[in-house]
Amino acid sequence: MSDLEKFRAETRAWLEENCPSAMREPVRGFEDLYMGGRNPEVDHPDQPVWCQRMAERGWTVPHWPREYGGGGLNKEEAKVLQQEMARIGARRPLESFGISMLGPALLKFGTEAQKQEHLPPICRGEIRWCQGYSEPNAGSDLASLQTRAEDRGDHYLINGQKVWTSYADKADWIFCLVRTDNSGSKHEGISFVLFDMASEGVTTRPIKLISGSSPFCETFFDNVRAEKRNLVGEEGKGWAIAKYLLTHEREMISGFGTAPRTSLGSVAVDTFGADASGRLRNGILRHTIAQYQLDALAFGATMSRVGDEAKAGQGLGAASSIFKYYGTELNKRRNELNLAVGGEPALGWDGDVYEGGATSRDWLRSKGNSIEGGTSEVQLNIIAKRVLGLPD
């Protein structure tokens, strides 16, 4: 038996033994995702149990190094683990911005001490992180951010306001972009600091969206103390870290555009009926759906191609620059079609008869996809300048 086969057999046996049956149920919505933290939101008592068991093996973040609480698995092993979890329908034990965003940045830019201090609690689901990037006057023009960090010797004193801080009211720590210097160009003088959200002077206020309640908050800092040992990278050089992290965020958001499992055309045929040749009765709607499905197919093929080219050592092609823009625009088209095909029930806002307004709320929420993490217009600017080489 090869090492990989042995690993598979052991993994299978361990999962069978340790994955609680409730954690093998499909994820129905956000409430089924376990985000951990000091005061975790627990929807089912088995969520923390499952998280803890997996964390003991390093399997909440299988590909991170063992010394930081990860599983130290290579690509093949991580794939086997994923397959074996999928085999029994096991949920991912822990979802967090610590895993998807801060972790990769710390692994690349953090000091050894910072990695030792912050990564293991992320893996164990003990500390939940939020991201302090946007400000009321720094959205697309993120680099013009004005939250000040004043040098006080061993610490910074932070004053200012952030906005669109997801889960700020539930997070334990924040990774935050602050201005340590105002004298140079706007990209200089930005620093990347970490501090505790329980610090004196931090307040948060939830933001209600057009789609209803949301994880977003406004976050205010009034003379908040951040220790200098929690400055990541050099002072004034935080923009490079911010951009690196944004590419991770954009990849996550562009994934929304991948082809859905159900064919919208088939759903529409069930609703509106087809003519003798099997064509959807309304030809105009049929055209719009066909164009959407064609583009979704081509987008999916492009995601595959870019991945395959990278694996074949041909590098990350220019095609990757279109993912955020195209994926989010595609998702908006899909959601508009969900309304068109769904009709009156799709417009429902509340009540069991409308499944709580899931279709309309998803539709409204999708409008934010092409704004958050860099608007479509900013993405097009990036393609025009960096890929096509068009001048300013």
Cα–Cα distance for residue pair 293/6, rounded to 1 Å: 42
> Residue 294 interacts with another protein (CB under 8 A)?
yes
Considering CB under 8 A, how many residues would be counted as binding another protein? 48
Q: Which of 10, 223, 305, 349 binds another protein (CB under 8 A)?
A: 305
Nearest alpha carbon to residue 160 among 238, 218, 222: 222
**Site for another protein (CB under 8 A): which residue of 9, 27, 210, 297?**
297
Indicate which residues carry an active-site annotation. Answer: 249
Task: Write the CB contacts of 85 (distance below 8 Å, at least 6 apart in sequence).
Answer: 15, 19, 92
Q: What share of the chain is helix, strand, coil (3-state, %, to 5)?
A: 50, 15, 35
H-only helix segments in the chain: 3-18, 46-56, 75-88, 97, 103-109, 112-123, 238-254, 264-272, 283-311, 323-342, 358-366, 376-382
Determine the longest span between alpha carbons in the chain, in angstroms. Answer: 79
Q: Does 184 bind another protein (CB under 8 A)?
A: no
CB of 45 or CB of 343, closer to another protein: 343
- In the complex, minimum distance from the CB of residue 269 to another protein, in angstroms, rounded to a whole number: 5
The region of 69-77, 104-112, 131-139, 381-389 touching another protein under the rule CB under 8 A is 381-389
| 222: contact with another protein by CB under 8 A | no
292 contributes a contact to another protein by CB under 8 A: no
Stretch that binds another protein, among 69-77, 108-116, 220-228, 263-271 (CB under 8 A): 263-271
Distance CA 71, CA 7 (A): 13
Query: Taking the CB of residue 53, how many other CB atoms lie within 10 A of it?
Result: 20
295 sits near another protein (criterion: CB under 8 A): yes
Work out which of 145, 280, 337, 346 binds another protein, going by CB under 8 A.
280
- In the complex, the residues that contact another protein under the rule CB under 8 A are 263, 265-266, 268-269, 274, 277-280, 286-287, 289-291, 293-295, 297-299, 301-302, 304-305, 308-309, 311-312, 314, 318-319, 322, 325-326, 377, 379-381, 383-385, 387-392
